Amino acid sequence: MSTLSEILEMLRHRAEEYTADAATTRRPSWAPALVINDEFVQLARTVGLLKEDDKPIIRLWAKFADPRRKGTLLREHVGLTLAGIRCRGFDVYVGMARKGSRLFQAKRGDQGEWEHGPHSWEVPWNDDNYRSSRSLRHELSNQQANCRWYARTIDECGGPEQQPNMVRDLERVQQACADLEQKYQAARTGIDARNTAQTRLLVLARERVIEFGGGDHLTQMVAGAHVTGHCCICGKELTDPVSIERGIGPDCYSKHFIAINAWVARQQSQAA
């Protein structure tokens, strides 16, 4: 079985192969859409990465070196150590756009080694449960301080029999504390559920990259194109029926005619 580094290296070669004729004045683009399973879809919806009407796909975005002769200081002193290596890494995002939380990333080193991650994923600060838990914790702390004040004051003023009004106030504050504690624990449960879902998503994204890199990549790319309606190679929207059926636009079909015909022949031999 191939290691993840070997699979990423194979994917790098594929990305460079499919973009071999790209212009030398701008970065090429290669981001095949990969269909994801029901568990992946459900978890992505749980954490808000997919809406109900979004297409059930992730995209593997290849990161290419800047082909321009002059670039930034970073490119001149770091990027040139990978001279001849056009594809430098990959990112995985849910959905069609390159936005939101990155579920997988990989970067190639100058010795051919691959670093990959992420291995953890913190709940974002603007998550409803996260904001709610912070607010509730602050309010709960204040109410608990009130409880201590009432209890101390009642004791100092002769006990419950001498301060019935304060006793009722204390009971009211204690009930408020109990209600806040219940809401706080519910918010924490929501955070824990999201953390669990996010951790599982990182695993599923990594496994999906391995499945794609270690399997029949063109079959998987075409399956993604049938879901998205975009060319599985260049990502352009497909309009004519023939291109929609094969999942490959006319330009990409003509450029990669030999490789595609070889894939079609394999498909036919397997079906026979």
Write down the residue that tokens 């192969």 correspond to.
17
For residue 264, what are the β-bridge partners?
none
Q: What is the full per-residue pLDDT of the chain (272 aa) written as tens digits?
A: 679 999 999 999 999 988 887 766 678 889 999 999 999 999 999 888 999 999 999 999 999 887 766 555 555 444 444 567 889 999 999 999 998 889 999 999 888 889 998 887 765 656 676 778 888 888 989 999 999 999 999 999 888 888 889 989 989 999 999 998 998 888 888 888 888 889 999 999 999 999 999 888 899 999 999 999 999 999 999 999 999 999 999 988 888 877 777 777 776 676 65
CA angle 187, 104, 29 (to 5 degrees): 130
The pTM (predicted TM-score) of the whole model is: 0.78
**Residues 102 and 153 sit within 8 Å (Cβ to Cβ):** no
